[in-house]
Chain A
Amino acid sequence: MDLEADIVVIGGGMAGLVAGIRATEEGMKTILLRKGQSATAYSSGAIDVIGYLPGGTVPLGSPVEGLQGIASMFPFHPYGLLGFTDAESGTVSKTIVEKVRTAVSWLKTTLLSSNMPLFGDIDSNLDAVTVLGTVKPTCMIQETMWPGSLMLDADSVALFAGVRGLPIFNPRMAAQVFLEHQISNRLPPRKAGYHVLDLAPFGNNHNISSIEIARYLDNEDNLSVLAKTLKKQADRIGATHIALPPVLGFNRARENQLALQDLTGAYAFELLSFPPSVPGLRLQRGLETAFVKGGGTLLVGHHAEMDSPKSSIVKEVTAVGPKRNFKISTKAVILATGKFIGGGITGTENGIRESVFDLMTVSESFRIATSAIPQKLTNTIALSHMGHPLFGSGLSVDPQFRPITKEDFHAAENLYAAGSILAGYNYPAEKSGLGVAIVTGYMASRNAVDHVKGVSA
């Protein structure tokens, strides 16, 4: 069967979904292909814009500050590219900040209308607390994950509450790490305790996953037992705040948060966590819902296959599905297939490759990486603020976010790329993953829409 679209988006993570939603908002007939799982769903759900400058070790007070630094020092960073369209150099940094602000505020509004309120903006970074008890700077979080006045109020007391048989969160160690960190930074709270709840969701007492508890708590009746114990434990240590793993529900998280506050008298919030991450899944689902509601066509389990764009324009994409294949004719394509997790980029002993069009890849420092041995793009130190250049490799794009060729020319007139498939930034170190995906998805979409409108006009 054949389909027709104005815009085909390849990839259904944050970048692809933002691009897709924007395109439908602009009246484009949009088809989005998502092969499988995305890094977006694995994420903690906190939306980083920029937490540290590339190679930096000082947490940035605000994304704006970081964007200004990038504008002056890292022009080829995906955020830096946003400044290229304006010729006047004096306004580069302002342009970048405004573009990021537009995209991020748009996302906030969009998710609010799909019942997922977000907290924060690019004028300040928030301190988010993780299941390890560590603190990381991020830009926006789901309201249920905002720790409230915990780290501001001098008299606050935290209760870290885990669930027996849920191995992803150890409340005792988290409380200890968090308290040590706060004390050494002379910040509240001065006191933290922990408790392990005997929740046994659906009768299970071991091998429990966050997802299971979230489903359990999506049933209103199951909250009260939890609330009773939590209240007793909070009262025991005089807790003003209760830190929970992110399990408050898929559909009722916010209601549950408010109800817990009512029932315990303490402010309950969810910690940032690792996959399987309920907030990451909430984000993925929220975006997909918004896309479909807006009239977009979502083909899950379908992957795009293409030959390298021989002509200067991509007219057709093949969607390979479990049952059948579609040929989709289109006016523009947005490639948002992610990095190694998403599968947009792969690496073998023969080099770093882009998986759909076999586009040119580059290293973090923009050297051609098509035949680079992956190991050569790594550091000896496993975990450091420098990250591994391997995770900064990907596609090099022009200021319109069109992938470029060796000759420095766009690979195709109507092919755009967005999200973690792009080179030149290292999200694990910078803390910029979802932010770059949102902003580049937004901008690539705008350029694609302009192209299509130009074409149809």
Chain B
Amino acid sequence: MAKYDVVVIGGGSTGTAVARDCAMRGLKTLLLERDDIASATTGTCAGMISSGLKYMDEPDIVDMCSDEVVYFKRIARHIIEKNPILTPLLEMSDISSGGNFAEEYSKRAETRDVPPVLFLTPEDSLKIEPMLNPDLIASLYFEEYFIDPFALCMLQALDAKQHGADIKTYCEVTDILTKKGSITGVQYFNRITDKMESVKTKAIINAAGPWAHKIAALAGAKLELRLNKGAHVILDRRVVNVGVITKAIEGRMIYLFPHENTVLLGTTALDTWEDPDTLVASQDEIEYLLKSMEWVIPSIRDARIIRTMEGVRPLVPTWKIPEGDVTRGYEVIDHEPEGVSGLISFTGGKLVVCRHMAKAATDLVCKNLGVEAECKTHIEPLPGNSDDVDILALAKEYGVSQHTVERMRARRGSETATILELTRNHPEWKTTICTCEPVIEAELRYAIRETFPQTLNDLRRRVRLGTGPCQGTFCTFKAASILAEELELSGADFQLEIVDFLAERWKGKRQSIRGEQIAQEELAQGIYACVGNLDQALEELDYDLKPWEEVL
């Protein structure tokens, strides 16, 4: 049986950051993820690595976030974007909600390489963002950084791997083995080999996000979380070119962020007891967000809603206060005092502090194991960390459009040239497979070979396949055949990949379906059901209903 120093459970932002830190400190590390990297909460988050607009009452955390932004700028330049943000004020009462924000933000602005908060006149505000409601009386201007959450997790996992960690996706932890109050190993079901497997380990770090309490329970430990659902609505174009933050109907703050070729409208906050895997955004959440944003962006409903996206925040368990008042900090819990030694869990936290969380947990494990090693995760860069890719030159050299190369650079950083080089022997790999994004065949082949996707959905997370307005209508079957070739899938599995991918896309499309998106869906049904006849193949293919499809 394989033996590890530490097993990390969960492959979200927290788990991958932990695995990276552990591996860099020389611990023999295994990461187990029941699905794919960043397939859960992290994949649904907005990716704002924020200055802490929402939690200015917690100066320590604001400091922590500020520092983390500086580190990200150092280690992950290619997956970071800086966006201007406006908070339009329609009435005087909107101002009071600003609190000490401007002051706190500006104090830390310089270290993060952003200007201090500015107050803009209506004219200047409209010059920056013409879509704003012209009745505004003023606006606050500031800047925030954003990171691609999928890419971050992927790079953390790959870097951990390069430092000797084993990363196993599609392995679901089913039991934690203990002996006399100490954990000794982990048992998991490997969904790729279809087998139960187990490993020995000295320590476990439970980074299972909103499932962390279930993992703790496997070891007989207790963990309390406050689970809170958040939904986003994704619109098909950059309705605005700067981020907009405003007060929602009941006074919470919500946002509209440009993200790649889309904008993200979010988020809601509802305490939840449902299985996170079954959650979808409700009609009420969609209308709540639209109605709230409509005041400041009156044309919001003209845009096409592509889909909704929802996740569950694993908050620190504080009760009888609104979600917004719960700390945005985190807790690292050593279960030793309750008689389970070797198990460490998290509550709370955010994407922006994942590295910080990892450091705290890894420090603790090192201490427990008597290992002395320094944390270097804030110094050593992640793979591809470079923004000086010469897009014009590459586009010209390989005969690929600048836009395509630019989008590739945003995903792959310094690997861009390596990918384009593949087209020398295979010029046909310059073919655009996903036109919305766009993604060319060479990048798909590269991502399949280098970043261990098992499914088309995994590939989506790696290259943003099928995430644009057409939601995979035209690229699903093309990409599936490339994946099937590379992984040597059977004909049945190739068809299953298509159906699984469409199922996952439908989950997000369905709740908000209206307007253009209905015609788009008719097209998809025309392709995959009417012509492809895949609707009739489900039984033959042994299609498993997805958690959100289960009709009882």
Contacts and interface: CB of A to CB of B under 8 A. Distances in A.
Interface in A293-343: 339-341, 343
A134 B532 contact: yes
B431 A206 contact: yes
A133 interface: yes
A59 B485 CA distance: 30
Nearest to A134: B533
Given A177-B495, A373-B283, A382-B506, A274 B477 contact: yes
A170 B498 CA distance: 14
Nearest to B503: A382
B228 interface: no
A131 B529 CA distance: 13
A180 interface: yes
Interface in A152-185: 164-165, 167-168, 170, 172-173, 176-181, 184
B91 interface: no
Contact of B529 (A42, A57, A273, A383): A383
Interface in A116-137: 130-136
Contact of A375 (B283, B530, B549): B283
A383 B534 contact: yes
A291 interface: no
A57 B535 CA distance: 9
Nearest to A48: B530
Given A57-B539, A132-B477, A136-B531, A173 B522 contact: no
Interface in A205-229: 205-208
Nearest to B400: A206
A429 interface: yes
B489 to A, nearest CB: 8
A251 B529 CA distance: 29
Contact of A177 (B431, B491, B530): B491
Contacts of B522: 39, 339-341, 391, 428
Nearest to B280: A380
A374 interface: yes
A1 interface: no
B538 A384 contact: yes
B533 A135 contact: yes
A331 to B, nearest CB: 32
Contact of A428 (B431, B502, B505, B529): B529
B481 A170 contact: yes
Residues of B in contact with A, size category = 35 or more
B283 A383 contact: no
Nearest to A277: B531
A340 B428 contact: no
Nearest to B432: A207
A341 B86 CA distance: 37
Interface in A85-143: 130-136
A173 B526 contact: no
Contacts of B533: 130, 134-136, 431
Given A165-B431, A384-B535, A180 B514 contact: no
A339 B492 CA distance: 32
Nearest to A382: B506
B491 A180 contact: yes
Given A134-B533, A173-B494, A43 B432 contact: no
B430 to A, nearest CB: 4
B510 to A, nearest CB: 6
Nearest to A175: B491
Interface in B508-539: 510-515, 518-519, 521-523, 525-539
B477 A383 contact: no
A429 B538 CA distance: 13
Question: Mostly helix, strand, loop or mixed at chain A's interface?
Answer: loop
A425 to B, nearest CB: 12
A62 interface: no
A275 B523 contact: yes
Contacts of A164: 428
Contact of B536 (A52, A130, A390): A52
Contacts of A349: 287, 514
B334 to A, nearest CB: 42
B115 interface: no
A118 to B, nearest CB: 17
Contacts of B482: 170
A172 B427 CA distance: 19
B428 A346 contact: no
B258 to A, nearest CB: 24
Contacts of A167: 431-433, 441, 478
Nearest to B423: A206
A136 B471 CA distance: 25
Interface string B479-499: 011101100001110110011
Given A180-B491, A382-B506, A173 B530 contact: no
A343 B502 CA distance: 24
Contacts of A455: none
A197 to B, nearest CB: 11
B104 to A, nearest CB: 39
Contact of B523 (A42, A374, A387): A42
A250 interface: no
A440 interface: no
A206 B441 CA distance: 10
Nearest to B527: A274
Contact of A387 (B474, B481, B515, B525): B525
Given A378-B510, A387-B525, A205 B485 contact: no
B545 interface: yes
Contacts of A388: 521, 525
15 contacts: A130-B532, A130-B533, A165-B427, A206-B427, A206-B431, A340-B518, A341-B523, A375-B512, A378-B510, A383-B538, A384-B535, A385-B538, A387-B529, A387-B535, A428-B530
Ranked 4 nearest A-B pairs via Cβ: A382-B506, A170-B481, A177-B491, A136-B533
Given A431-B533, A433-B530, 8 more contacts: A52-B536, A206-B430, A272-B531, A274-B531, A381-B506, A383-B529, A385-B535, A390-B521
Interface of B: 283, 287, 427-433, 441, 474, 477-478, 480-482, 484-485, 490-492, 494-495, 498-499, 502-503, 505-507, 510-515, 518-519, 521-523, 525-540, 545, 548-549, 551
